[in-house]
Amino acid sequence: MSIVTRRGDDGNTDLWFADRVPKYHPQVQAYGALDEAKAALGL
């Protein structure tokens, strides 16, 4: 089963409880860094 939104990739992403922001937004980068740190710690 595939999930298709038919919106394509316009270079934006949805943040939790926020609007759509560019993928290079600092908050997106922070979420990624936090995810990497949690994975390294095994949490």
21 to 13, 14, 25: CA distances (angstroms): 6, 6, 6
In 10 A of CB 21, how many CB atoms?
14
What is the per-residue pLDDT across 5-32, written as a single tens digit (0 to 9) for each?
A: 776 788 998 888 878 899 999 999 999 9
How many Cα atoms within 13 Å fall on the side-chain side of residue 11? 3
Distance CA 37, CA 15 (A): 19
Task: Please tell me the pTM assigned to this model.
Answer: 0.64
